């Protein structure tokens, strides 16, 4: 009913033991003030029903693929995953269940560095706790140059992941 009144319809994922409501404004390619307003209304309605939210469970996962010529490697990934193109840099799961792939332009080949890493986007107030958990689990900071918008972390073997906030880099 709230979504109909706002003429803005969320993606709803019902799986035991939780319901996830995902709001994005597809026309702008991300989170908008309209999404935030509807999220607040949905949260208030849930509270009125005695349902509690778990903000630490909110995230978006994206796989970042470094590419010298993205246009040459994207068709392979689109075909093997059954994804669709979403702008010049992204492939997305048409069912909305898998992580998106983002193709990051490289200037030169870097054999000493991973060519694929995972991007995890979180609410701003959850990011530092996730970074701390990763460090406590044996990870290390590769770069915090852009913190608190995003951090580059790595596991003990150097495999990288970026923790980004929705206020962050994109």
Query: What structural domains does the chain harbor?
Result: 2-53 (3.30.1360.20), 57-165 (3.10.180.10)
Q: What is the pLDDT of residues 16-53, one digit of tens each?
A: 888 888 777 666 566 778 888 888 888 888 889 888 88
Instruction: Quote the CA–CA distance of 82 and 110 in Å, as a whole number.
Output: 28
Q: What are the CA-CA distances from residue 90 to residues 75, 93, 103, 123 (Å)? A: 11, 10, 6, 21
Instruction: Quote the CA–CA distance of 164 and 147 in Å, as a whole number.
Output: 9
Roughly how many angstroms between the first and final C-alpha of the chain, as a whole number?
A: 31
pLDDT band at 131 (very low <50, low <70, confident <90, very high): very high
How many helices (H) and strands (E) would you count in the chain? Answer: 4, 10
The predicted structure's pLDDT at residue 117 = 86
The 10 Å Cβ neighbour count of residue 15 is 7
Strands (E) in the chain, as ranges, are 11-15, 18-22, 60-67, 84-86, 90-92, 100-105, 116-122, 140-143, 150-154, 160-165
The predicted structure's pLDDT at residue 39 = 82
β partners of residue 105: 67
The predicted structure's pLDDT at residue 30 = 65
CA atoms in the 13 A half-sphere facing the CB of 146: 15
Single pTM value for the model: 0.65
The predicted structure's pLDDT at residue 146 = 93
Q: What is the pLDDT of residues 50-108, one digit of tens each?
A: 888 887 777 788 998 888 888 888 998 898 788 999 888 899 999 888 899 998 888 88
């Amino acid at each position: 009913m709230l979504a109909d009144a706002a003429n803005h319809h969320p993606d709803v994922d019902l799986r035991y033991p939780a319901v996830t409501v995902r709001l994005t404004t597809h026309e702008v390619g991300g989170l908008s003030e309209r999404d935030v307003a509807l999220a607040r209304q949905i949260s208030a309605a849930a509270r009125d029903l005695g349902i509690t939210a778990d903000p630490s469970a909110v995230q978006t996962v994206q796989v970042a693929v470094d590419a010298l010529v993205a246009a040459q490697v994207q068709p392979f990934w689109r075909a093997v995953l059954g994804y669709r193109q979403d702008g010049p840099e992204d492939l997305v799961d048409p069912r909305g269940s898998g992580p998106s792939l983002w193709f990051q332009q490289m200037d030169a080949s870097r054999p000493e560095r991973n060519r694929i890493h995972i991007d995890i986007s979180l609410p701003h107030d959850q990011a530092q706790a996730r970074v701390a958990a990763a460090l406590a689990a044996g990870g290390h900071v590769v770069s915090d140059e852009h913190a608190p918008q995003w951090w580059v972390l790595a596991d003990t073997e150097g495999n990288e992941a970026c923790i980004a906030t929705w206020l962050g880099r994109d």
